[in-house]
Amino acid sequence: MQTESALQSTIDAIVQDGKGLLAADESGPTIAKRFKTIDVESTEANRRAWRHLLLSTPGLSQYVSGVILYEETLGQCADDGEPLPALAARLGIVPGIKVDTGKIALAHAEGDEITQGLDGLAGRLEKYKTQGARFAKWRAVYNVSDTLPSRLAIEANADSLARYAAICQSAGVVPIVEPEVLMDGDHSIERCAQVTQAVLHEVFHALHRHHVTLELMLLKPSMVVAGKAHVRPASVREAGERTVAILGRTVPPAVAGIYFLSGGQTPEEASAHLDAINRVGRRPWPLSFSYGRALQEPALAAWRGMAANVEAAQQALLKRARLNSAAARGAYDASDEARA
């Protein structure tokens, strides 16, 4: 009962009207790629400075209720010695942690991948809790083609997601379940919808088998959009309508909240799509954002690794957070993009 109370308290702190999540959980290789675009070396000191910049942004908690951190960041401190998770919590943002250890090729399924990290997860969660983490995230990826993902990949990743979620809830940590249908490729929006529906059906069957309490978890899905290389990109409105339709067919109303990943979209595309999704009716869950690059990219460009640019970078982050907060209410105005 005490565990359930802790889970509910975390859900209540995260699921707030118009607020979303900041994904700042990039792995070492990923953040190195991001830093390379602004000619900044990916050292521990630079990563700490960047994540301190993000978490200390004044007013961010108006629009962001939680932050997903990388394991390294849980152990880092602000300039004054305050642990970064404690800084986030003090400013009204719930700290969370990415717990999967990355993806590898799935045996006997060419072109498919499976996520690792279940071994030792319960023990790691206990450590992360002492460092301030109250929720966790696990990402599974699904490559899309005429034949991918295979049935094996759909079932294997669903089972891993469900096992992870069950372990988290047993530890008193809210699980974010992230099945990402990748945008890479030339597939149509119809093919994306077909794959997303199959993936989400299997994920929730697995969650049921593993006795995961839906009211005490969050879903982080991809949106239903055409592949990046498809000859006919779908309209923003069509993407919104198809996304909500697929969620309605697959996601039980009991789920506490749905927080979309941006999945390689530009910041502007991610805001426009989230807004379109929230303008569609018949939805029992809050539909918000859990964005990484789509929130951070303008701030990163403004920062460029220079202490003198911290305030400008924080203002860029705050602007994107504000626009996505509006999109989470179906009140995004594209003309606001040009305003400070």
282, 252, 328, 245: CA torsion to nearest 10: -50
Q: What DSSP assignment string belongs to 202-215? A: HHHHHHHHTT--GG
Catalytic-residue membership of 220: yes
The residue from 220, 269, 297, 319 that is catalytic is 220
Report the C-alpha gap between 167 and 30 in whole angstroms: 27
Residue 334: partners with Cβ closer than 8 Å, 6 or more residues away: 268, 272
The long-range contacts involving 310-315, CB below 8 angstroms and separated by at least 24 positions, are 310/53, 313/53, 314/53, 314/56, 314/57, 314/58, 315/340
Catalytic-residue membership of 33: no
Report the C-alpha gap between 283 and 247 in whole angstroms: 9
Question: What is the phi-psi region of residue 188: left when phi exceeds 0, alpha when psi lies from -120 to 50, beta otherwise?
Answer: beta
Residue 234: partners with Cβ closer than 8 Å, 6 or more residues away: 189, 225, 226, 242
The residue from 178, 180, 202, 297 that is catalytic is 178
Q: What are the catalytic residues?
A: 178, 220
